[in-house]
A = this chain, B = another copy of it.
Amino acid sequence: MNFASDNWAGVSDRVRDGLAAAGSGMVPAYGGDELTRAVEAQFNEVFEGEVAVFFVATGTAANALALAAFAKPGGVVLCHEGAHIVDDEAGAPEFQAGCRVQGLPGANGKLTPAAIEKALQRFSPAAVYHGQPMAVSISQLTELGTAYKPEDVAAIAEAAHAAGLPLHMDGARFVAAVAGLGVSAADITWRAGVDVLSFGGTKGGCWAAEAVVFFDPARAAEFPYLRKRAGHLFSKSRFVAAQFAAYLGDGHWLELAGTANARAQHLADGVRHSRHAWLAVPPDANEVFAVIPKERAAALRALGAVFHDWPQTGIGADFHAGEDEVLVRLVTSFATTEEEVVRFVELLR
């Protein structure tokens, strides 16, 4: 019953085998190899068009460097107040992009066009001391496990583009969102106005497979230098390529996400039918945010369940947990078993 995080899991068998198979032979370092070319073609296929893809070590690096590609002096990045880039990356965006990250309110962990427009009013060339807006960033999934639909993304992109700002999507759980929404990767990104995506493969079933994807390759011109300066250009870069090749091949990525999401929906159903617990937010993919009695949480842990308490911010003005209750996060992964879920649901009832 381990629902701590999807990054506690290992790798899928297919990813494991793909990586093992790539272990021999001499190929050019630093991404000059054929497997990397093949993976780039896979990304083009996934996104139904030509994109520019760059591997980096972590999701934090992907976010910080994606934003750095749009850096301006005195730049301000607008995002939801609960966003990972706000206070879960130890200042990486500020450091890499020399920017300020400004969190804005929004229910269910989601940024809104209205919040962006209001925040933008404060900026003008005459008020140089406020800095200048530089980018809008959203998380897909959000930090509360909710997903932006294509029309949500499009509305935000419109607000950003109207102000000349690029739209960044933090896709640490992008694949879970794609599977959960049942949309195409292209529809939920560039067709809806996303300019740059942090594409996460790690949480989905790889070891360390994160990529920055530019939907207009021309905007990636400086990125190779940004990445190298940050120490994120792998020499044996094919080890990332090998993971992505296995992960993106034959729909494996969506299959793994489908499993994780199904487990989460099972958990959510268990919460809905429990007298002791209720859902803080309707879950869209592989994360369930539930409010349960503190006593019950302790009992579950005593029986071996692993999960995290969570801060109650960004849910909405009308959200209210009782004194004796606690908000908890339950995350499933490709490796979560049906048995774990069944047992947890039984214990919760």
Contact = CB atoms under 8 A, between A and B. Distances in A.
Interface of A: 2, 4-5, 7-11, 13, 15-17, 19-20, 22-30, 56-62, 64-65, 68, 72-76, 87-92, 94-96, 98-102, 122, 125, 128-132, 202-203, 207-208, 222, 224-226, 228-236, 238-239, 306, 311, 335
Contacts of A311: 122
27 contacts: A4-B28, A7-B29, A7-B235, A8-B26, A10-B26, A10-B27, A13-B23, A16-B23, A19-B20, A26-B335, A59-B235, A65-B231, A73-B225, A74-B90, A74-B228, A75-B91, A76-B91, A87-B130, A88-B129, A90-B129, A91-B98, A91-B100, A122-B311, A128-B228, A202-B235, A208-B208, A208-B234
Given A98-B94, A101-B100, A232 B130 contact: no
Contacts of A62: 231
Given A129-B228, A233-B58, A98 B100 contact: no
Contacts of A24: 10, 335
A20 B22 CA distance: 12
B229 A74 contact: yes
A71 to B, nearest CB: 9
B19 A19 contact: yes
A15 to B, nearest CB: 8
Given A26-B335, A29-B8, A95-B229, A90 B130 contact: yes
A336 to B, nearest CB: 9
Nearest to A235: B7
B228 A90 contact: yes
Contacts of A99: 91, 94
How many copies make up the complex? 4
A74 B91 contact: yes
A224 to B, nearest CB: 5
B129 A239 contact: no
B90 A225 contact: yes
Contact of A229 (B28, B91, B229): B91
B225 A131 contact: yes
Contact of A90 (B17, B58, B91, B131): B131
The CB with the most chain B CB atoms within 10 A, among A11, A58, A76, A228, is that of A228
Contacts of A235: 7, 58-59, 202-203, 208
Contacts of A30: 7, 128
A26 B11 contact: no
A57 B128 contact: no
A207 B237 CA distance: 8
Nearest to A132: B225
A332 to B, nearest CB: 11
A98 B225 CA distance: 12
Nearest to A56: B231
A228 B29 contact: no
A231 B85 CA distance: 12
B57 A7 contact: no
Contact of A4 (B26, B59, B89, B102): B26
Given A19-B19, A26-B2, A225-B74, A131 B231 contact: no
A234 B65 CA distance: 16
A27 B311 CA distance: 23
